[in-house]
Amino acid sequence: MTTETLEFQAEARQLLHLMVHSIYSNKDTFLRELISNASDALDKLRLQALLDKDLQVDTSDLHIDIEIDADQRTLAIRDNGIGMSRDDVVNLVGTIAKSGTAEFLRKLKDTKDAAASKDLIGQFGVGFYSSFMVADKVTLLTRKAGEERATRWESTGEGTYTIEEVDEAPQGTTVTLHLKPADEEDQLFDYTKPWKVRQLIKQHSDFIAWPIRMPVAQPPVTETEGETEGEVTASATETVNSMKALWARPKDEVEKAEYHEFYKHVSHDWTDPLDIIHLRAEGTFEYQALLFIPSHAPLDLFSREAKRGVQLYVKRVFIMDDCEPLVPEYLRFVKGVVDAQDLSLNVSRETLQQDRQVQLMRRRLVKKVLSSVKDLLTSDTDRYDTFWREFGRAVKEGLLSDVDNRDAILEITSVASTHDAEKLTTLRQYVERMKDGQEHVYYVTGESRSVIENSPHMEAFRAKGYEVLLLTDPIDELWVESVPEFDGKRFQSIAKGQVDLDTEEEKKAAEAEREQRKEEFADLLSWMTTTLQDDVKEVRLSSRLTSSPSCVVSDEHDVTPTLEKMYRAMGQ
């Protein structure tokens, strides 16, 4: 049987290079990644066996075995899960399909600072490749469920890998790490020490739903007792993890650290989450949900292929990743697990979309996420600020797409305003500061704060002391056009139509003055209107300017200048 040598895809090569010359000090995480892959493979096999009655596999003893050979300095992670075909191995392990990879690598290149690159790696979650932080050679032996032939893959992480067909191998996957030479200085990173590996499993992978087994810990051999006492047969193993599904446990029995580890497992993020939402619904339609808001946005938050991070389980059986019927697109950054008791195991994405129970779950989960953010806003502004900085732009999409929850989204929306040059304001705070007699929420849209702050439209508002919201995200332009009001106050653009800032008395006085001026300037205005007739509809005296000589305004129903620019750019 021939051995082929193949090259890693360019992006994979770059990532591997980073791992081999690891700049990430938290090497321990490799074990979590490999166990998480093994656990996924077991989930997939169980589901497949349930759905495909023709698949001849034994699912009675699904597990993960960890084997250490201290003399050879190897550490093996073995699962009897779904396994991979030769093509699977080439496609899944030789390339990186993750969206956002290119951007991730570009950012990493731009980052000179080692600490910042560490953070980036943590955010990206390098998966299988993290093995090369601790190993100088990795061997993967795998056989896919239902197939005869197995595949052996090997690499030192330096640009190429070898792949060959093998006649015999147990079903599932074994990843063998040939560990780098021991670091005498740093005993802490010796993965040939069973206690170290056990500790890592307890710490990072305790809740994994499958048994993670290791040989029984050697009891100390006592001299006085018989020689067979205290000896262990080679095959005796014990399960290291507790296997308790975290989401099914009562809230007050779960430690924060456990939640955090679980979050890292489902999200592939290496940093702690910003917020945890744990809820259970009882009664006719039972389900449990454990959701997390990350503390930073993923790199692909605004890319088209961005995945949603909520997994669906049915009665503890993993059904699917990235379950979009459960979370609306504008909350695509939320991670976690939903476990429903009464759905069929046979659900597909399409049937889920139509399912009434799923719609009910989704409605409740959305409300819960929004109210949790609202709680942050009132109880922990720092965390709320982080939330809004990282996810605000995505959340604002919901103002357009989720009319039912519009008010709740407006409640947690923050924008820049003339009130404070440094800090954003919530709409609620704006309304609380509104002056007596002010009826509308004034705003202006544009490309940047500095441009719109100095626009002539602003003058009258500044003179009157009215606060104006400064909306500079492209999405702002869209929602502010379609959301009619907040708390009964209309959104009013200061760049559109007639702006009415005065009290009744001021108005009367101004009206009289204007009439008089109109007469004075009648000739000039009609001359200007005629001269400029190709460019503007009308030239009129302004009540809004205080120091600029003139400005261009649009009619009440015209598009704003920025929107006009956007349409033009789109060729309309």
> Which residues bind to Mg ion, rule: CB under 5 A?
37, 127
Q: Residue count at the site for ligand ADP (CB under 6 A)? A: 15
93 binding partner (options ligand ADP, Mg ion, none; Cβ < 5 to 8 Å by kind) = ligand ADP
What is the end-to-end Cα distance of the chain in Å, rounded? 61
Quick one: CA torsion of 284, 290, 293, 294, rounded to 10 degrees? -160
The annotation status of 127 as a binding-site residue, yes or no, is yes
Integer CA distances (angstroms), 368 to 281, 323, 374, 470, in order: 12, 17, 10, 29
Which residue in this structure is represented by tokens 């390339």? 95
Quick note: the x/- pattern for ligand ADP over 152-181, rule CB under 6 A, is ---------------------x--------
Contact partners, residue 510, CB within 8 Å, separation at least 6: 502, 543
Q: How many Å separate Cα 286 from the centre of its chain? A: 26
Contact 551, 542 (CB under 8 A): yes
82 binding partner (options Mg ion, ligand ADP, none; Cβ < 5 to 8 Å by kind) = ligand ADP
Quick note: the x/- pattern for ligand ADP over 262-301, rule CB under 6 A, is ------x---------------------------------
Among 81, 309, 325, 336, binds ligand ADP (CB under 6 A): 81
Among 94, 100, 122, 127, binds ligand ADP (CB under 6 A): 127
Give the C-alpha separation, 445 to 397, whole Å.
16
Q: How many Å separate Cα 129 from the centre of its chain? A: 21
Please state the closest distance from residue 8 (CB atom) to ligand ADP, in A. 12
Q: Which residues are bridge partners to 279 per DSSP?
A: 289
Beta strands in 107-255 (DSSP E): 135-143, 150-155, 160-166, 172-179, 212-215, 237-239
Give the C-alpha separation, 409 to 302, whole Å.
19
Check binding of 135 to ligand ADP (CB under 6 A).
no
Quick note: the x/- pattern for ligand ADP over 398-437, rule CB under 6 A, is ----------------------------------------
The annotation status of 310 as a binding-site residue, yes or no, is no
Site residues (CB under 6 A) for ligand ADP, limited to 7-46: 33, 37-38, 41
**Which CB, 173 or 562, lies closer to ligand ADP?**
173
Check binding of 80 to ligand ADP (CB under 6 A).
no
Alpha helices of 180-334 — where are they, by DSSP H? 194-205, 256-267
100 binding partner (options Mg ion, ligand ADP, none; Cβ < 5 to 8 Å by kind) = none
Please state the closest distance from residue 569 (CB atom) to ligand ADP, in A. 36
Give the C-alpha separation, 330 to 403, whole Å.
12
**Which CB, 127 or 336, lies closer to Mg ion?**
127
Helix/strand/coil for 213 = strand
Please state the closest distance from residue 129 (CB atom) to Mg ion, in A. 10
Nearest residue (beta carbon) to Mg ion = 127
**Which CB, 83 or 456, lies closer to Mg ion?**
83
Sign of CA dihedral 390, 375, 468, 555: positive
Residues within the annotated binding site for ATP?
33, 37, 79, 84, 98-100, 123-128, 173, 349
Residues within the annotated binding site?
33, 37, 79, 84, 98-100, 123-128, 173, 349
Residues that bind ligand ADP (CB under 6 A): 33, 37-38, 41, 79, 81-84, 92-93, 127-128, 173, 268
